[in-house]
Structure 1
Amino acid sequence: MTDSEKRPSYAILVVDDDAINIKIIQSILEGAGYETHSAGSGRECIKNASKFKTDLVLMDINMPGLSGIDACKELKRIEKTREAIVIFVTANTDDLTLEEAFDAGGMDYVRKPINRIEMLARIKSALEHREAAKRLAEEKKFEAVLATAGGVCHELNQPLQYVMGSVQLLMMDLEEENPVYEQLEKVRKQVERMGLITRKLMEITRYRTMDYVNGKSIIDIEQSTGP
């Protein structure tokens, strides 16, 4: 495995109006295996977070123009960037400043002057927290899929059995050469297929989706069943 394969696949946007601070922080982050890009102002932060892959924003609070707190509020309003984690970098750790930072959507903060170990630990913790939240959301989706599948199968099972039984009775009274027999055989095969689908729904063991139309996704039954 190469060094690049060992690196976490996370991209961090470093936001500070001091170019030297940006270079120092980027050096630390890249040394830890993170991909980085930067912004020198709150406005540039919003632009770059939308333009580049951004998993986490390391945001200076005190910047001329749009402050870090206001930039964070804007990021949380934009659909493309609202999921990005924001960790503030600040020398002001008074209660009012921190309250405003968290109310704006920040997850955590790092004190200035920056301590390398503290910064990396807080970033790692924030990213792990987000991944855990994603896994929990997927588990909830899976639980909903199982509940829906069980309900659908329960509601369809009896009608399918009735249709299958009725078709078979009708076919018993017809010769195979009869055109109606041929049509009933097609119906029987489709009902049998529906029965197979309901059985597969009951065997779902994981949550997998496939692209459908208009950007929508549907459950991939084949990939969601089996060992």
Structure 2
Amino acid sequence: MVQENDKQPRVLIVDDIAENIQVLGNILDEKDIEFSYATDGREALEAVSYSKPDLILLDVNMPGMSGFEVCKKLKEGAETKEIPVIFLTAKTEPEDIIEGFTIGGVDYITKPFNSKEMISRVETHLELSMSRQMIASRNHELDKLNAELKEIVASKDKFFSIIAHDLKEPFNTMIGFSDLLLKTIDQKKPAQIKEMVRHIFNSSMHGFELLNNLLEWSRSQTGRIEFKPDCLRIKEVISSVTGLLQDTADKKKIELSIIDENDLTVWADSKMVGTVIRNLVTNALKFTRPGGRIIISCMDNQDYARLSVEDNGIGIDKAKLEHFFRIDTHFSTPGTENERGTGLGLLLCREFIERHGGEIRVESEPGKGSKFSFSLPKHKIQTVDIQK
């Protein structure tokens, strides 16, 4: 017999004659089928309201409320209309049988009971009932998955719309200044030409950064980034990243400081961790005023190393913090020198940290700065791929 989650099917016997209940109960017992009973229609309806059976054996002729009346009430209830009902009757007139099917019965058993016939009909309809329940459960799961999939698709559609919009900005700037430079270069002074070239360079770097993050994020979504953790000195990774960004920091006269008093080692993928630190420090550079300070620290936390990138920049509104690291959210706050950020780098940070079994957090206060922190395992651990 088909059963879902090892559920034992249960039959409710409804008959006003005790001997009939005993006979039916004995037949069901022989097949190890659980059953309960009620001796009249009202008791049956009350029992069903507390606990739904998988099948009801319902006597037609009962005092007070007939079996047909009980069946009608069951079929009117949203929670009970799907319970299959087999009528128990001594009547064999076609009109009675047709009426039983018309009001919702699935079968009938005539009295006196033939045990083989009865058990065959009961098992058949229990099988059908359990199959229907299983299908309904699967359909419910599919509906949930479909709703989740639609939400994911909608979020990604919005995300790519945001990215397409953000990609236009640096290219529009490059095209605009390039066109202006071509048309007026003979009339421009060297200082003016240098300023225009600076705008073109900054826009091209912004576009390159966006495309690079988009490529890495796309590869992470399709499983094309191989996760290769190894034992590494975290200070070496931090120093490598800050070395690449030192020129940007110098231009804004921002101090980059590394604090790693214990010279910690972690079990991590060096490329992924490097990408995380690069994105966090790049963000900090954008939103820190000239003359500010950025501190990259690494603290020992038992089995984990706690890393953080902290700045004394412009900070983040509390309302925006609640929507950080979400694919369907766009942040367009310009940096202190009108630098742009799309939030894609932060999505990438979250993806890579989760691959290491950790999470990334942010604390911030407008006007005082921000602190992004995450943890990395110090020793080899079991990790699982994040399901997209």
TM bracket (short chain): 0.5 to 0.7
- CA gap of 1:135–1:180, structure 2 versus 1, over 3 A, is farther
Give the superposition deviation at 1:100. Answer: 1.1
Aligned to 2:299: none
For residue 191 of structure 1, the aligned residue among 326, 331, 346 is: 326
Q: Residue 37 of structure 2 aligns to a residue in which SS?
A: strand
- Cα separation, 2, equivalents of 1:87 and 1:156: 50
Aligned residues: 193
In structure 1, the partner of 2:286 is 173
Q: Distance in 2 between matches of 1:35 and 1:52?
A: 13
Other structure's SS at 1:72 match: helix
Q: Which has the higher strand share?
A: 2
Contiguous gaps of at least 5 residues in structure 2: 1-5, 167-205, 211-281, 289-293, 295-310, 330-346, 352-385
CA contact 2:159–2:328 (8 Å) conserved in 1? no
The TM-score normalised by the length of structure 1 is: 0.67
The corresponding residue for 1:50 is 49
> Map of 1:70-81 to 2, 5 A cutoff?
70-81=69-80
Q: Distance in 1 between matches of 2:106 and 2:286?
A: 72
Alignment of 1:140-159 (within 5 A): 140-159=139-158
Deviations 1:88-123 (A, max 9, x none): 111223321112112222111112221111111111
8 Å Cα contact 1:90-1:111 kept in structure 2: yes
Match for 1:191: what amino acid? Answer: R
CA distance in 2, matches of 1:47, 1:188: 49
Contact 1:14/1:38 (8 A) holds in 2: yes
The structure having more radius of gyration, on CA atoms, is 2
SS across alignment from 1:114 = coil
For 2:44 and 2:60, locate their aligned partners in 1 and report how far apart those are by CA, in whole Å. Answer: 12
Kindly report which structure 2 residues correspond to 1:1-227, keeping only aligned pairs within 5 A, or say none: 9-160=8-159, 162=162, 171=283, 173-175=286-288, 176=294, 177-180=311-314, 190-191=325-326
Shift of 1:67: 1.3
Identity of aligned residues (%): 30
Q: Greater helix percent: which structure?
A: 1
Q: Is the 8 A contact 1:8 1:33 kept in 2?
A: no
Is the Cα–Cα contact under 8 Å of residues 59 and 86 in structure 1 kept in the other structure?
A: yes
SS of residue matched to 2:23: helix
Judging changes above 3 Å, is the alpha-carbon distance between structure 1 residues 174 and 56 closer, same or farther for their aligned structure 2 residues?
A: same
Question: Which segments of 5 or more consecutive residues in structure 1 lack a partner in the other structure?
Answer: 1-6, 200-224
